[in-house]
């Protein structure tokens, strides 16, 4: 009986204009937001832009992290990938988290990008420390 009530409530639910606007804003913010993907089976190209057009994906991601320098971009991705290792495997979730922190700060140049990367790394270390502390409790 309870399941029937839940499914009816979901089907009959209508978003308020404010809820729809919030949803529209969230999807609009994702436009141009390029993520990276990790392919452990490809040792020469493990980290790639998750975009149908890799060149456009790279340029879009470079712009969002405050650089136009391809060497800096490749170096930063390699650094972030090595920081985001889980054992010997690259962790796609950690890597995209670090990039998300950088993009959220909206760096204007490479120095700001490196500072943002450091903030992301500090957050990751703080999270790991909290996980270790929670074991003791």
Please, are residues 67 and 113 in contact by the beta-carbon 8 Å criterion? yes
- Asked if the structure places residue 23 within a domain, the reply is no
Q: 40 is in which domain, residue-wise?
A: 32-136
- Predicted local distance difference test score (pLDDT) of residue 125: 66
Rounded Cα distance between 43 and 131, Å, is 31
CA 19, distance to chain mean position in Å, is 24
- Predicted local distance difference test score (pLDDT) of residue 18: 93
pLDDT digits (tens, 9 = 90+) for 29-76: 665 688 888 887 776 678 888 888 989 999 999 999 999 999 999 999
Residues paired with 36 in a beta bridge: 49
For residue 2, what are its two tokens? Answer: 């309870």
Over residues 7-24, mean pLDDT:
78
Residue of higher predicted confidence among 26 and 101: 101
- Asked if the structure places residue 20 within a domain, the reply is no
Q: What is the total count of domains within the chain?
A: 1
- Asked if the structure places residue 73 within a domain, the reply is yes
């Amino acid at each position: 009986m309870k399941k029937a009530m839940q499914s009816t409530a979901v089907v009959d639910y209508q978003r308020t204009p404010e809820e729809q606007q919030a949803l529209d804003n969230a999807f609009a913010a994702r436009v141009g937001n390029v993520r990276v993907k990790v392919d452990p089976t490809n040792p020469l190209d493990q980290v790639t832009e998750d975009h149908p057009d890799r060149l456009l994906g790279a340029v879009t991601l470079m712009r969002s992290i405050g650089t136009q320098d391809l060497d800096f971009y490749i170096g930063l991705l390699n650094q972030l990938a090595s920081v985001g290792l889980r054992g010997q495997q690259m962790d796609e979730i950690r890597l995209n988290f670090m990039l998300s922190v950088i993009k959220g700060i909206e760096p204007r140049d490479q120095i700001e990008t490196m500072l943002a990367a450091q903030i992301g790394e500090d957050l990751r270390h703080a999270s790991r420390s909290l996980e270790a502390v929670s074991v003791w409790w």
